[in-house]
Chains A and B, each alone.
Chain A
Amino acid sequence: MERDKLIEMYRTMKLIRRIEQRINDEYKYDEIKTPIHLSIGQEAVAAGVCVHLRKDDYIFSTHRNHAQYIAKGGNIRKMIAELYLRTTGCARGRGGSMHLVDTDVGILGSTAIVGGNIPLGTGTALASKLLNNDRVTVVFFGDGAADEGTFHESLNFAAVRKLPVVYVCENNFYAINSHQKARQAGEGIYQWGRGYGMPGYRIDGNDVLEVSEYARQAIERCRKGEGPTLLECITYRWKGHIGTVDDVGDGYRPKEEYDYWLSKCPIKRFAEFLRIKEILTDELEKAIDEEIDTTVEDAFSFAKSSPKPSTVELTEFVYVD
């Protein structure tokens, strides 16, 4: 992989981590008046996939959408302003954290209904096929979404029509607090892809290089008209399902499990790789960190100083012209 793409992935992962940590820190001030879902620990999936996407490719995401929004190139100022529910937010404060959108970079919205985005992404892929363009759609979802009918219906449809869509399952094992084993008896989500007649792979979602390599192949398959792929990326969210809670111990997730995954931090691991390859130097790391700090600082101060919507907006956009 080229050097600039490697650095881009590193920068993206770090930007995701910094923004999420900052959201985590700010949440206690009660100015972000909307449910948030953090993906600290899962950064490698979004970064590894989106590095191969063009601006005009589509992604669809979920309630846990910050990482994908950032990785696809969403506007950071507008994102943070949306979390603060301001008029300058990407959805003018109507969507909040769970419904980020940036049509300029192919993010056509995010859903808070588990599995609800899978048909939508299948639909944009259908449009690409019917319009005979080479835009690819990536649909991100969690392991919980594989419980839903939309997952199965959509994969079947996409396979039948050979649509240019990559289904990326971020398997962090938990749907709120319910473990995958309590919800799925099968041997792996990736096998469903094979069952529906498309390639399905289970990969290490904390290894950004592995994610990136499989995503590259899947996206290429799409561009060549060879149809969909399902990638099951095994990863782990460090924070609880929602808000800033930690749900380790006390009958929630086992401490040992949590500690094991912390030791598999995708960013630390990738940084070590880049240092060994002499791509990441102290100097470069410092430059990246400073740039990220500036971006984050700017976005939060922009958001906090932006106006809230006026109540006259309430009934706007129920219908569009």
Chain B
Amino acid sequence: MPWTTVQVEKLDNFFIKDDTAGDRILTYKDALHEALDQSLARDPRVFIMGEGVDDVAGVFGTTKGLKEKYGENRVFDTPIAENSLTGIAAGAAMAGLRPVLIHARMDFILLSLDQLVNHASKWSYMFAGQVKVPMVVRTISARGWGSGAQHSQCIQGMLMNVPGLKIVAPATPYDAKGLMISAIIDNNPVLFVEHRWLHKTTGPVPENLYSIPIGKGVIRRKGNDITIVAISYMLVEALKAADKLKEAGISAEVVDLRSLKPFDEEIIIESVSKTGRLLIADTGSKTGSVASEIAAFAAEKAFYHLKKPVVRVCCPDTPTPTSDVLEKAYYPSDEDIFREAAKLVRD
């Protein structure tokens, strides 16, 4: 059994309520599977490729059985060639198809930066919109069970600096499905950031095909004392922290950004104008992170609403250690968010 599965199976189920989403409960990974399945069924231009997408594991179950259902021209395995695969997807997109390329570890994205950054993301701009590159790059961050420095990175912050690339990082099953569908129908390259620890998260997911607008955040929990902006898996930690803060008499508003680029500026300004305090929780290293960008944005656009300095809860600026002891120290948790948030409100 793959090591990540071992680690994820140990996790508690985390249920995230989505008020608009109905009654049927699915896991995040099943929601993704359904989004891919329905997109393949709806649009013959959609196809899925990547290392191991048609094997028995089916990328943690998210592509399982799709090859059998749609044939090997629509769902197929590839050589180990991340950079060229990204360019091949881009070329196929230019020729009218809608590829979904899967890099099973976000670390592997680094091998494909030339095609992602130099080609796919700037092609439309460079040619004045005449050539479109409607592709999705699914990428999965892992964590835990000694993944170490090269199998656990969350480099979405680095990629926010790429003009022309859209980046989404859904945290709930409802968003995973809706944003995957949005990413597939978008006419631009979209980086779809998953986190392995979210795959087991459960929540309501409608059966129908629906899309969630890219660039729109959502308030997961209303509050008045502090705004916690969380992305990807850190939403889970932020919601746990918000429970603890409530017990301590602090009312936290939790904003799930969902889209990292472009991100929802309004929702942050509005929340901070109410709470006056901002904590940002990111899954990546601190320097140059998504949290850094949100902090800079708050300084530019919400400075006069802030009563206190902005706080970022991120991983430290070190590679991920493999030792379970060091790993535990490396990853910020709900405790860290709770502590920093309480300090911000009380001090």
Which residues does A use to contact B, with CB under 8 Å? Answer: 58, 60, 90-92, 94-95, 99, 101, 103, 108-109, 111, 113, 116, 118-131, 135, 149-150, 153-154, 156-157, 160, 316-321
Question: Knowing A103-B131, A108-B95 touch, does A319 contact B84 (C-beta < 8 A)?
Answer: no
| Interface presence of B87 (CB below 8 A) | yes
Q: Which residues of B contact A125 (CB under 8 A)?
A: 91
Any chain A CB within 8 A of the CB of B88? yes
Assess whether A153 is in contact with B90, with CB atoms less than 8 Å apart.
no
**A153 and B84 in contact, given A91-B127, A94-B128, A320-B188 (Cβ under 8 angstroms):** yes
Decide if B91 touches A150 in the complex (CB within 8 Å). no
Q: How far is the CA of A220 from the CA of B92 in the complex (A)?
A: 21
Of all chain A residues, the one with the shortest Cβ separation from B74 is A130
Q: When chains A and B are docked, how far (Å) is the Cα of A130 from the Cα of B79? A: 18
CA separation between A299 and B267, bound complex, in Å?
51
Determine whether the beta carbon of A126 is less than 8 Å from that of B92: yes
Q: Which of A149, A154, A319 contacts B124 (CB 8 A)?
A: A319
CA distance in complex: A262, B46 (Å):
50
Give the residues in chain A near B78, CB-CB below 8 Å: 157
User: Are A116 and B118 closer than 8 Å at their CB atoms?
Assistant: yes
Shortest CB-to-CB span from A152 to chain B, Å, is 8
Does chain A have a CB within 8 A of B208?
Answer: no
Query: Given A101-B127, A156-B81, A318-B125, are A124 and B91 also a contact pair (CB < 8 Å)?
Result: yes
Judge whether A116 and B88 touch: CB under 8 Å. no
Assess whether A130 is in contact with B84, with CB atoms less than 8 Å apart. no
Query: Does the CB pair B88–A123 fall under 8 Å?
Result: yes
Q: How far is the CB of A92 from chain B (nearest CB, A)?
A: 4
The residue among B79, B86, B118 with the most chain A CB atoms within 10 A of its own CB is: B79
Q: Is B269 interfacial (CB-CB < 8 Å)?
A: no
Question: Is A122 within 8 A of B95, CB to CB?
Answer: no
B131 pairs with A109, CB closer than 8 A: yes
Instruction: Give the chain A neighbours of B96 by CB distance below 8 A.
Output: 127, 131
Q: Which residue of A lies closest to B188 (CB)?
A: A319
Task: Given A116-B87, A119-B83, A318-B163, verify A95-B126 contact (CB < 8 Å).
Answer: yes
Q: Mark B109-125, 1 if CB is under 8 A from A, else 0.
A: 00000110011000111
Contact A91–B128 (Cβ < 8 Å): yes
A154 touches B84 (CB 8 A): yes
On B, residues with C-beta under 8 Å from A are 47, 73-74, 78-79, 81, 83-97, 114-115, 118-119, 123-132, 163-164, 166, 187-188
- A130 in contact with B97 (CB, 8 Å): yes
When distances are taken between beta carbons in the complex, the residues of chain A under 8 Å from B94 are 108-109, 120, 123-124, 127
Closest residue to A119 on the B side, CB-wise?
A: B87
With A91-B126, A94-B127, A99-B126 as given contacts, are A113 and B119 in contact (CB-CB < 8 Å)?
Answer: yes
Q: Identify the 6 closest CB pairs spanning chains A and B, nearest first.
A: A123-B91, A119-B87, A127-B95, A153-B84, A153-B81, A120-B91
- CB<8 Å pairs between A and B, sample of 26: A58-B95, A91-B128, A108-B94, A116-B87, A116-B114, A119-B85, A119-B90, A120-B90, A120-B94, A122-B91, A123-B89, A124-B94, A124-B95, A125-B91, A126-B92, A127-B97, A129-B73, A130-B47, A130-B97, A149-B81, A150-B83, A153-B84, A157-B78, A157-B81, A316-B128, A317-B124
Contact of A320 among B83, B114, B129 (CB under 8 A): B129
Of B92, B115, B127, B163, which one neighbours A109 at CB under 8 angstroms? B127
Chain B residues, Cβ within 8 Å of A319 = 124, 164, 166, 187-188
Chain B residues with Cβ under 8 A from A320's Cβ?
A: 124, 129, 132, 187-188
- Chain A residues, Cβ within 8 Å of B79: 153, 156-157, 160
How far is the CB of A115 from the nearest CB of chain B, in Å?
9
What chain A residues lie within 8 Å of B126 (beta carbons)?
91, 94-95, 99, 109
Q: Are B83 and A149 in contact (CB under 8 A)?
A: yes
**In whole Å, how far is B39's beta carbon from the nearest beta carbon of chain A?**
15
- A122:B97 contact, CB within 8 angstroms: no
Contact: A154 with B163, CB < 8 Å?
Answer: no
Q: B88 is contacted by which of A99, A113, A126 (Cβ under 8 Å)? A: A126
Chain A residues closer than 8 Å to B81, beta-carbon distance:
149, 153-154, 156-157
B86 (CB) vs chain A CBs: closest residue = A119
- Nearest CB of chain B from residue A17's CB, rounded to whole Å: 27
Contact A92 B128 (CB under 8 A): yes
Q: Tell me how far the C-beta of A181 lies from the nearest C-beta in chain B, rounded to whole angstroms.
A: 26
Q: Using Cβ atoms and an 8 Å threshold, which residues of chain B touch A122?
A: 84, 87-88, 91
